Amino acid sequence: MFKLRLAIHAIALALTILVLVPASSAQTITATLTGTVTDTSQAVVPNAAITVKNEQSGDIRRTVTNGDGYYTIAALPAGTYSVFAESPGFGKVEKTGVAFLGGDKKNVDVVLTVAAAGTEVQISAAVDSITPVDSGEKSATLTTKQLQDFSVVGRSAAEFIKILPGFAISGTGTENRANFTGETIGINGNGDKGSQSALNGAYAVNGLPNNSLDITADGAHVSDPGCNCATPVNPNTDMIQEFKVLTSNFSAENAKGPAVINTIAKSGSHDFHGEGYFYARNYVMNANDALNNKFGKPRPENKYYFPGGNIGGPVLIPGTNFNKNRDKLFFFSGFEYYYQTLDTGLLTLTVPTARMRTGDFSSSELAKLGNITASGGTPQVPSSTLFPGGIIPPSQIDPGGQAMMSLLPLPNADPNATGGYNYVQQENFNQNSWQWMTRVDYSISDNTKLFVRYNLQKEQQLFPVGLWWRNANQVPYPTPVVGKNQSQSVSASLTHVFSPS
C-alpha cells in the first residue's frame, strides 16, 4: 500500500512539473468562497470550523475563521457544495446546494445559535440564490443543464454565443446570416465548405471589430494563435459542464480578450455515470434555403452522423483499499466521432476544350463554348494577324504551360443549356474526424488538490477545389489536397493550502 501511494504521488508530481510553465498564465477556472461567522447577537465567532464538501464527489476542504470571524476557501472546482460551520457551545449549521461556476467569488455568512450538543441546523440554498461578490464583470454563463436543454445545429458549444446578449451577426452582406452555421466540425477556421468556427469573423460583440473573441478550455488558450480564427479544441456540449462568456470588466487573470469564452470540462463524481448517444442530420429532412429556391438551386446534400459517449466516476483499484470511500481520485472520459459528408454546391465554369489545349481557337472551336462564357461575354477569336484563323502554332506554345493546362478538367456540359458554362460539377466529399477528452481529479489531501485535462482531435480534411477557402471561378485540383490535422491540449492545476486560516 505504501508503494502504491508513493507511485500515485510521484505521478502527480511529474504531471505538475510538466505543466507548471503553461499553467502560470492560465485563466481562473476555480471559485472562491468567503464569509463571516457570527452568533445571534451579531458578535463574531473566531476559530469556528468551516468544512466545504463537494456534493457530487465528496471531496472536502477545511478552514477556520480568524479573529474577526472571517474565513475564505480558494480554488474550489466548479460544482455544488455543502457548507458546514460549527464551534464549541453552538449548534452545527449546514448549508446545502451552494453552486459555484468557474471564477465565481461568493459570500456565505453563517449565524450560529447557542444550542445543546448534537443540535444541527440545515439550510437548503437555491442553486442560483447566492450572488457572486467582489466582481463587476459582465458575463453570461450556461450550466450543464442549459447546455443539454438548448438546441444547437452542430456539436460545438461556441454556437451558443448567437443567443447571448451583446452579440450580433458580422459581415453578413445582403444574406443577413453568419458565415458560421455550426454544421461542420473542423480543426481549421476554414474549409472547402466554408467557415468552421464561430471565431472566424462570424459575430461581433459589444460593437468590437471582428476576431475580438478568444476561447479558453479549463484555463488554457485554445484558439488558433496564428489568426485567432479557429477553435482547434472543439467545446463539445456533451463533454463540458460550463460555458461562460466574459464581455467586459473581468479580472486580470483573463489575459486574453477583449471578449473571452471559458469552458470547463466535466469531471467524475462519487458514483459512476455514463451515456451513449447518436446525433444525425440528413439532407432528406431539410427544406431548401430561400435563396436557393430563388435562383433555382437544389438543397445541399449534407449528411452528418455523430456517435459518441462518455463515462465518469471514481478510480477504483481491485485488490486494494485505495479510494474505497470514493472521495480521492475521479475520472471523466468522452469520445465522439464526426462523420460528415459535405455538399459544397455546383461548380460552374468555362474550361478550354481538348483542341484549344493544342492551340486551336478557330471559330468552329470557339462555338463549342456557347453564345456566352463564364465571363458573361461572347468568345472572341484571337488576333488574325498574329494567329491566322485563330490557330496558335506549336512553336508559340510553352510546353510547361501546356502541361499545366492539361491538369484542367475537360468540358462536360452544353454551355447553351447551362447559361454559358461548359463544365458543371457537384462537389461532395467526406471530412471525418474524432475527439477524445479525459479529465482526472485527485484529492491528494484536504489541503492539496490536482486536476489534469487532456483533449485530442484528429481529422482528414479534403480541399478538392481551393486550399483553406474557395475563390470565384476556381477549377478543381487534379486530386484533392489532403490535410491530416491534429490538435492536442493539456491543462492542469495543482492547489495546496499551506495554512487553513
Q: Which three-class secondary structure string do you get for 21-68?
A: HHHCCCCCCCEEEEEEEEECCCCECCCCEEEEEECCCCCEEEEECCCC
C-alpha–C-alpha distance, residues 500 and 135, integer Å: 24
Asked if residue 197 lies in contact with residue 230, where contact means CB atoms within 8 angstroms, the answer is yes
Q: Quick count: other Cβ atoms within 10 Å of Cβ 179?
A: 20
- Exposure on the CB side of residue 400, measured as CA atoms within 13 A: 0
What is the pLDDT, as a whole number, of residue 430? 94
Q: What share of the chain is helix, strand, coil (3-state, %, to 5)?
A: 15, 40, 45
Residue 9: all three cell numbers together: 504521488
How far from 209 is each of 18, 202, 213, 247, 406, CA to CA, in Å?
37, 11, 9, 13, 44
Closest CA to 86 of 59, 36, 47: 47
CA angle, residues 310, 55, 20, in degrees to nearest 5: 65
Asked if residue 425 lies in contact with residue 465, where contact means CB atoms within 8 angstroms, the answer is no
Residue 477: all three cell numbers together: 485540383
What is the pLDDT, as a whole number, of residue 1? 41
What is the pLDDT, as a whole number, of residue 134? 60
Asked if residue 100 lies in contact with residue 33, where contact means CB atoms within 8 angstroms, the answer is yes
Closest CA to 331 of 310, 312, 318: 312
- Exposure on the CB side of residue 77, measured as CA atoms within 13 A: 31
Query: Which domains does the chain carry?
Result: 2-124 (2.60.40.1120), 351-419 (no CATH)
Q: What beta strand segments (E) does 42-178 contain?
A: 49-54, 60-64, 70-76, 79-86, 92-100, 105-107, 110-112, 120-124, 138-143, 167-169
What is the pLDDT, as a whole number, of residue 26? 46
Asked if residue 296 lies in contact with residue 290, where contact means CB atoms within 8 angstroms, the answer is no
**H-helix or E-strand containing 290?**
helix 290-294
Question: Which residues lie across from 346 on neighbouring strands?
Answer: 426
Q: Quick count: other Cβ atoms within 10 Å of Cβ 275?
A: 11
Identify the three-state secondary structure at position 281.
strand
C-alpha–C-alpha distance, residues 64 and 66, integer Å: 7
Tell me which amino acid residue 90 is.
F
Identify the three-state secondary structure at position 161.
helix
CA angle, residues 20, 22, 25, in degrees to nearest 5: 105
How far from 95 is each of 34, 106, 322, CA to CA, in Å?
14, 14, 30
Question: Which residues lie across from 389 on neighbouring strands?
Answer: none
Radius of gyration of the chain from its Cα atoms, rounded to whole angstroms: 31
Residue 208: all three cell numbers together: 468590437
What is the pLDDT, as a whole number, of residue 501? 62
CA angle, residues 427, 229, 344, in degrees to nearest 5: 10
Identify the three-state secondary structure at position 400.
helix
What is the pLDDT, as a whole number, of residue 330? 96
User: Residue 182: phi, psi to the nearest 5?
Assistant: 90, -5
| pLDDT tens digits, 357-380 | 999 999 899 989 988 887 788 888
Find out whether the peptide bond into 258 is cis, omega within 30 degrees of 0. yes
Instruction: Provide the Cα torsion 174, 175, 178, 180; round to 10°.
Output: -130
What is the pLDDT, as a whole number, of residue 269? 92
**Tens-binned pLDDT, residue by residue, of the chain (501 aa):** 444 444 444 444 444 434 333 433 445 688 899 999 999 999 999 999 999 999 988 889 999 999 999 999 988 998 899 999 999 988 899 999 999 988 888 999 999 988 765 555 555 554 455 555 566 778 888 888 888 888 888 899 988 888 888 888 876 666 677 788 888 999 998 888 888 888 888 888 888 877 788 889 998 888 888 787 888 999 999 999 999 888 887 777 776 778 888 999 999 999 999 999 999 999 999 888 776 777 677 888 999 999 999 999 999 999 899 999 998 999 999 999 999 999 988 888 889 999 999 999 998 999 899 888 877 888 888 777 788 888 999 999 999 999 999 999 999 999 988 888 899 888 899 999 999 999 999 999 988 999 999 999 999 999 998 888 888 778 888 899 999 999 999 999 998 888 766
Closest CA to 493 of 264, 222, 252, 239: 264
What is the pLDDT, as a whole number, of residue 12? 45
Asked if residue 299 lies in contact with residue 283, where contact means CB atoms within 8 angstroms, the answer is yes
Give the distance between the most distant pair of CA atoms in the chain: 115
The residue to which cell 443540535 is assigned: 119
| pLDDT tens digits, 265-311 | 999 999 999 999 999 999 999 888 776 777 677 888 999 999 999 99
